[in-house]
Amino acid sequence: MSNKIRLGILGGGGDSLIGVLHRVASTMYDRYQLVGGSFNPSLDESIKFANQIGISTNQVYKDLDTLIEKELALPADQRMEVVSILTPNFLHFPMAKKLLENGFNVICEKPMTTTYEEAKTLHEILKKSNTVFAVTYTYTGYPMVRQMRQMIANGEIGKIQKIDAQYYQGWINPIIHDKAQRKSTWRLDPEKSGISCCIGDIGTHAFNMVEYMSGLKVNSILADLNYLYDDNQMDIDGTVLIHCDNDVKGVIRASQIATGEENNFTVQIYGDKAGLKWEQENPNYLYLLEDGHPLRVLKPGHAYNNDLSLDGTKLPPGHPEGIFDSMGNIYKGVARAIRNETYDQAEFPTMIDGVRGMNFIEKAVESHKAGNVWVEIDKQ
Amino acid sequence: MSNKIRLGILGGGGDSLIGVLHRVASTMYDRYQLVGGSFNPSLDESIKFANQIGISTNQVYKDLDTLIEKELALPADQRMEVVSILTPNFLHFPMAKKLLENGFNVICEKPMTTTYEEAKTLHEILKKSNTVFAVTYTYTGYPMVRQMRQMIANGEIGKIQKIDAQYYQGWINPIIHDKAQRKSTWRLDPEKSGISCCIGDIGTHAFNMVEYMSGLKVNSILADLNYLYDDNQMDIDGTVLIHCDNDVKGVIRASQIATGEENNFTVQIYGDKAGLKWEQENPNYLYLLEDGHPLRVLKPGHAYNNDLSLDGTKLPPGHPEGIFDSMGNIYKGVARAIRNETYDQAEFPTMIDGVRGMNFIEKAVESHKAGNVWVEIDKQ
Amino acid sequence: MSNKIRLGILGGGGDSLIGVLHRVASTMYDRYQLVGGSFNPSLDESIKFANQIGISTNQVYKDLDTLIEKELALPADQRMEVVSILTPNFLHFPMAKKLLENGFNVICEKPMTTTYEEAKTLHEILKKSNTVFAVTYTYTGYPMVRQMRQMIANGEIGKIQKIDAQYYQGWINPIIHDKAQRKSTWRLDPEKSGISCCIGDIGTHAFNMVEYMSGLKVNSILADLNYLYDDNQMDIDGTVLIHCDNDVKGVIRASQIATGEENNFTVQIYGDKAGLKWEQENPNYLYLLEDGHPLRVLKPGHAYNNDLSLDGTKLPPGHPEGIFDSMGNIYKGVARAIRNETYDQAEFPTMIDGVRGMNFIEKAVESHKAGNVWVEIDKQ
Amino acid sequence: MSNKIRLGILGGGGDSLIGVLHRVASTMYDRYQLVGGSFNPSLDESIKFANQIGISTNQVYKDLDTLIEKELALPADQRMEVVSILTPNFLHFPMAKKLLENGFNVICEKPMTTTYEEAKTLHEILKKSNTVFAVTYTYTGYPMVRQMRQMIANGEIGKIQKIDAQYYQGWINPIIHDKAQRKSTWRLDPEKSGISCCIGDIGTHAFNMVEYMSGLKVNSILADLNYLYDDNQMDIDGTVLIHCDNDVKGVIRASQIATGEENNFTVQIYGDKAGLKWEQENPNYLYLLEDGHPLRVLKPGHAYNNDLSLDGTKLPPGHPEGIFDSMGNIYKGVARAIRNETYDQAEFPTMIDGVRGMNFIEKAVESHKAGNVWVEIDKQ
- By the CB < 8 Å criterion, does A331 face chain D? no
- By the CB < 8 Å criterion, does C8 face chain A? no
Contact A167, A254 (CB under 8 A): yes
Chains touching chain D through at least 3 C-beta pairs below 8 angstroms are: A, B, C
pLDDT of residue D1: 45
Count Cα atoms within 13 angstroms, Cβ side, for D337: 24
Peptide bond into D320 cis (omega under 30): no
How does pLDDT run across A106-143, given as a tens digit for each residue?
Answer: 999 988 999 999 999 999 999 999 899 999 998 999 99
Residue type, B198: C
pLDDT of residue D106: 95
In angstroms, what separates the C-alpha of A117 from chain D's closest C-alpha? 29
In angstroms, what separates the C-alpha of B48 from chain A's closest C-alpha? 10
For D165, the closest chain B residue by CA position comes to B253
Contact A116, A41 (CB under 8 A): no
For A223, the closest chain C residue by CA position comes to C241
D369 vs A15: CA distance, rounded Å: 55
CA B14, B20, B25: angle at the middle one, nearest 5? 155
- By the CB < 8 Å criterion, does B277 face chain D? no
How does pLDDT run across D52-80, given as a tens digit for each residue?
Answer: 888 999 999 999 999 999 999 999 999 99
For B368, the closest of A17, A223, A262 (CB atoms) is: A223
Contact: C293, B299; criterion CB under 8 Å = no
Chains touching chain A through at least 3 C-beta pairs below 8 angstroms are: B, C, D
pLDDT of residue A260: 96
Q: Give this complex's ipTM.
A: 0.92
Which candidate in A368, A369, A375 is best for mutational testing of the B interface (most B CBs within 10 A)? A368
**Cβ-Cβ contacts under 8 Å, A223 against chain D:** none
Task: State the first-to-last Cα distance of chain D, in angstroms, to the nearest integer.
Answer: 49
Residues A45, A49, A55, A61: what is their CA dihedral angle, to the nearest 10 degrees? -30
In angstroms, what separates the C-alpha of C300 from chain B's closest C-alpha? 10
How does pLDDT run across B341-363, given as a tens digit for each residue?
Answer: 888 877 888 888 888 888 888 99
Confidence of residue B1 (pLDDT cuts 50, 70, 90): very low
- By the CB < 8 Å criterion, does B164 face chain D? yes
Contact D232, D128 (CB under 8 A): no
Give a three-class secondary structure readout of chain C: CCCCEEEEEECCCCCCHHHHHHHHHHHCCCCEEEEEEECCCCHHHHHHHHHHCCCCHHHECCCHHHHHHHHHCCCHHHCCCEEEECCCHHHHHHHHHHHHHCCCEEEECCCCCCCHHHHHHHHHHHHHCCCCEEECCHHHHCHHHHHHHHHHHCCCCCCEEEEEEEEECCCCHHHHCCHHHHHHCHHHCHHHHCCCCHHHHHHHHHHHHHHHHHCCCEEEEEEEEECCCCCCCCCCEEEEEEEEHHHCEEEEEEECCCCCCCCEEEEEEEECCCEEEEECCCCCCEEEECCCCCEEEECCCCCCCCHHHHCCCCCCCCCCCCHHHHHHHHHHHHHHHHCCCCCCCCCCCEHHHHHHHHHHHHHHHHHHHCCCCEEECCCC
CA B98, B100, B105: angle at the middle one, nearest 5? 125
Task: Tell me which residue of C278, C290, C244 sits closest to C148, measured CA to CA.
Answer: C278
In angstroms, what separates the C-alpha of B338 from chain D's closest C-alpha? 35
How does pLDDT run across B329-346, given as a tens digit for each residue?
Answer: 888 888 888 888 888 877
Count Cβ atoms within 10 A of the Cβ of residue C159 and give its class: 0-12 exposed, 13-18 middle, 19 or more buried: exposed
Contact: D161, B290; criterion CB under 8 Å = no
Q: Give bridge partners of residue D253 from the DSSP assignment.
A: D166, D239
Give a three-class secondary structure readout of A7-47: EEEECCCCCCHHHHHHHHHHHCCCCEEEEEEECCCCHHHHH
Contact D212, D220 (CB under 8 A): no
Q: Give bridge partners of residue B84 from the DSSP assignment.
A: B9, B107
Mean pLDDT of chain A: 92
Which candidate in D295, D372, D373 is best for mutational testing of the A interface (most A CBs within 10 A)? D295
A85 vs B98: CA distance, rounded Å: 46
D176 vs B272: CA distance, rounded Å: 9
Peptide bond into A111 cis (omega under 30): yes
Counting one residue from chain A and one from chain B, the pairs whose CB atoms sit within 8 A come to 539
Confidence of residue A1 (pLDDT cuts 50, 70, 90): very low
Put simply, the chain C residues between 25 and 64 with a CB less than 8 A from any chain D CB are 25-33, 51-54
- By the CB < 8 Å criterion, does A243 face chain D? no
Task: Tell me which residue of D81, D86, D92, D117 sits closest to D13, measured CA to CA.
Answer: D86
* pLDDT surpassing 90 at residue B204: yes
C26 vs C136: CA distance, rounded Å: 13
- By the CB < 8 Å criterion, does B353 face chain A? yes
For B296, the closest of C241, C294, C299 (CB atoms) is: C294
- By the CB < 8 Å criterion, does B130 face chain D? no
Instruction: Give the strand order in the sheet containing D133-135.
Output: D32-38, D5-10, D82-85, D105-108, D133-135
Confidence of residue B64 (pLDDT cuts 50, 70, 90): very high
pLDDT along chain C (380 residues), means of 10: 84 91 90 94 95 91 97 95 94 96 94 92 93 91 94 97 98 95 92 90 94 95 96 96 96 97 97 97 95 95 93 82 80 85 82 86 91 92
pTM attached to this predicted model: 0.94
**Cβ-Cβ contacts under 8 Å, C298 against chain B:** 294
Residue type, C5: I
How does pLDDT run across A210-269, given as a tens digit for each residue?
Answer: 999 999 999 999 999 999 999 999 999 999 999 999 999 999 999 999 999 999 999 999
pLDDT of residue D374: 95
pLDDT of residue C2: 63
Q: Which segments of chain D have a pLDDT < 50?
A: 1
pLDDT of residue C336: 87
How does pLDDT run across D360-376, given as a tens digit for each residue?
Answer: 989 999 999 999 999 99
Residue type, A73: A
Contact: C358, D284; criterion CB under 8 Å = no
Contact: D272, B173; criterion CB under 8 Å = yes
For B291, the closest chain D residue by CA position comes to D260
Which candidate in D243, D289, D293, D374 is best for mutational testing of the A interface (most A CBs within 10 A)? D293
Compute the Cα dihedral for A152, A155, A156, A161 and give only its sign: positive
C-alpha separations of B131 from A31, A339, C260, D295 in Å: 33, 11, 59, 46
Sequence-separated (6 or more) residues with CB below 8 Å from residue C208: C137, C140, D349, D353, D356, D357
How does pLDDT run across D119-174, given as a tens digit for each residue?
Answer: 999 999 999 998 999 999 989 999 999 999 999 999 999 999 999 999 999 999 99
Compute the Cα dihedral for A359, A362, A365, A366 and give only its sign: negative
Q: Give bridge partners of residue A168 from the DSSP assignment.
A: A255, A264
D37 vs D52: CA distance, rounded Å: 14
Residue A217 DSSP class: P
**Cβ-Cβ contacts under 8 Å, B288 against chain C:** 294
Counting one residue from chain C and one from chain D, the pairs whose CB atoms sit within 8 A come to 537
pLDDT of residue A2: 63
C220 vs B155: CA distance, rounded Å: 53
- By the CB < 8 Å criterion, does B260 face chain A? no
pLDDT of residue D2: 63
The H or E element spanning position B15 is: none
How does pLDDT run across B81-135, given as a tens digit for each residue?
Answer: 999 999 999 999 999 999 999 999 999 998 899 899 999 999 999 999 989 999 9
Task: State the first-to-last Cα distance of chain C, in angstroms, to the nearest integer.
Answer: 49
